Amino acid sequence: MNQPFTVRRAGADDADGIIGVYRRSSSDEVVNDWIFGDSPEVYAAYIEQHMPGHVAKVLARDEVWVAARDGEIACVAVMSHVGDREPFEQDARDTAEAAEAMPDVPALQRAARALRFIADHQPTGPEHLYVANILTDRRHRSQGAGGALLEAVLADADERGLPVYLEASTERSAKLYTRVGFADTGERLRIAEDSPTLIPCWYGLG
C-alpha cells in the first residue's frame, strides 16, 4: 500500500526534484503545449538551460509547495503573494527580451505573449495568492498528490486570511477546483485566437 503524500514548503535543496517534475509534466499541460507543442526541441533546451535559473528565482521570490512520497517530489505548486504587479511585469519583460533576441523561434514569441497576458490580466483587487502552476509528475498522476497539495495550500491560505486566484486551463480542471471551494467567475480569457481558454477562479473571496 502506498504511503500518503507529505506536503510542505520547498527549499533550495528541493531544486533538482522540482526541475524533475517540470521535465516530466509541463510539456503536456495545455498552455505549455500551445507554446511549445510544435517545438519540442525548444522546450527540451529550455528545461536544460533555463529551468535551473527559473526554479532558483521562484524559490527565492515566490512560494513553492511540494507533495512528496518516499523522498521523491511528485507535485509542485508555484504561488505568488500578490501585493503589486511588478514581479509579473518583470517576468513579461525578461521573456520579451529573449523573444526579441530570437525572432525566428515561434515558441518564444508565444511564451512572451502568454506572460504579457498574465501580467496584464492579474487581478488588482484584494491582496491574494496567485497560483501560477500546479504540476504533477506524470508517474504520480491519479494518486492523490495534487489533491493533497491543494488541500494544504488552501488551509494555509485560510490561516493567513488570503484569497487565492488561479486560471484553470480546461473545463475539467475548473470543475475539480470548484469541488474544493473555488468559484468560477464565469469569465473566459484567451491569450490568442488559437490558444486554450483560461477560466479565472477565486477561493475565499468575499
How do residues 106-144 score in pLDDT, each as one tens digit?
A: 888 999 999 999 888 888 778 899 998 899 998 888 888
Specify whether the CB–CB gap between 130 and 121 falls below 8 A.
no
Specify whether the CB–CB gap between 174 and 166 falls below 8 A.
no
Residue 34 has pLDDT above 60, yes or no: yes
Across residues 29-35, what is the average pLDDT?
A: 85
pLDDT band at 198 (very low <50, low <70, confident <90, very high): very high
pLDDT at site 26: 64
Handedness of CA 124, 85, 46, 12 (dihedral sign): negative
Distance of CA 87 to the CA centre of its chain: 14
Rg of the chain over CA atoms, in angstroms?
16
Residues 6, 131: Cα–Cα separation, whole Å: 19
The C-alpha cell that represents 173 in the structure block: 480542471
Of the chain, the percentage scoring pLDDT greater than 70 comes to 97
pLDDT band at 3 (very low <50, low <70, confident <90, very high): confident
pTM given for the model: 0.88
pLDDT at site 33: 85
pLDDT band at 2 (very low <50, low <70, confident <90, very high): low
| Amino acid symbol at 170 | T
Residue 1 has pLDDT above 60, yes or no: no
pLDDT at site 59: 94
pLDDT at site 68: 95
The C-alpha cell that represents 93 in the structure block: 519583460
The C-alpha cell that represents 71 in the structure block: 523522498
pLDDT at site 48: 86
pLDDT at site 157: 95
pLDDT band at 28 (very low <50, low <70, confident <90, very high): low
How do residues 146-168 score in pLDDT, each as one tens digit?
A: 889 999 999 999 999 999 999 99
Residue ranges of domains in the chain, CATH in brackets: 6-203 (3.40.630.30)
pLDDT at site 5: 93
Of the chain, the percentage scoring pLDDT greater than 90 comes to 48
